[in-house]
Amino acid sequence: MPDAVFDHPRVARVYDPLDPDRSDLDTYLDLVDEFGATAVLDVGCGTGTFCSLLAGRGIQGLGVDPAGASVAVARTKAGADRTTWIVGTAVDVAVDPAHRRHFDLATMTANVAQVFLDDEEWLATLRAIRACLRPGGRVAFESRVPSDRAWERWTKELTHRVVEVDGEGPVEDWVQLTRVEGEFVTFESPTIFLADGERIESTSTLRFRAQDAFHHSLSEAGFGRIEVRDLPYAPGRGWLIVARA
């Protein structure tokens, strides 16, 4: 079940206005160029910003996400009519024979790879992605480096903001860490629409896997040539993991 922060219609509509700087996606556009990709599967597409950028470059995109409210926002973006949208998971995409062995790049941008808490679900996702890739196609995703302990910066004091959003007025939000249990980090991120006082709560847990866990799961799912690169937009704080089907 997706977190409220992605699946509540009113919160999904302010996802982009609250975080308009998506220069992080340049990393993935560079991979599209590096691999000459013409068909891209974006798993956990959220509000569809990456697929919209792909469509603007004439690249065929399929965006999939279980958060229907985020996909509804994605469908309103430039190039949305040239993108295929699915509310669901990578496993749902792979069920359709038309999607199997079709894509030359699969992406999980932002912290999508960290939302998979359970090893079986993560492995099923990687296997489904592999089934959707052409032989030689790549999967690329990022994950935060555990030793950077990003969660220590997830406090109300450090993250609180109020942003003026067109049609909504001031919107307040913050992130507050609530629990760290081994690799599992839980935080709350309320969104408050100050114009009418509506407050929407969201609780999320992310998993900070070690590098060898990524190697192991990718190999088990049938990927090879696993590369761990430094994440260009967050050097030393994130890994950009690329593997070949």
Interacting residues with ligand SAM (CB under 6 A)? 2, 6, 43-46, 49-50, 65-67, 70, 89, 109-112, 115
**Nearer to ligand SAM by C-beta: 27 or 243?**
27
The least CB distance from residue 49 to ligand SAM, in Å, is: 6
**Nearer to ligand SAM by C-beta: 6 or 214?**
6
**Nearer to ligand SAM by C-beta: 59 or 115?**
115
CA distance 244 to 236: 23
CA distance 35 to 12: 32
The least CB distance from residue 62 to ligand SAM, in Å, is: 12
Cβ proximity of 143 and 214 under 8 Å: yes
Three-class SS state of 192: strand
The least CB distance from residue 20 to ligand SAM, in Å, is: 12
- Structural Rg of the chain based on CA atoms: 18
Both tokens assigned to 11: 């919160």
CA distance 193 to 165: 10
The least CB distance from residue 197 to ligand SAM, in Å, is: 26
**Nearer to ligand SAM by C-beta: 32 or 67?**
67
Three-class SS state of 5: helix
Residue closest to ligand SAM when measured from CB atoms: 46
Cβ proximity of 74 and 51 under 8 Å: yes
**Nearer to ligand SAM by C-beta: 46 or 137?**
46
The least CB distance from residue 185 to ligand SAM, in Å, is: 14
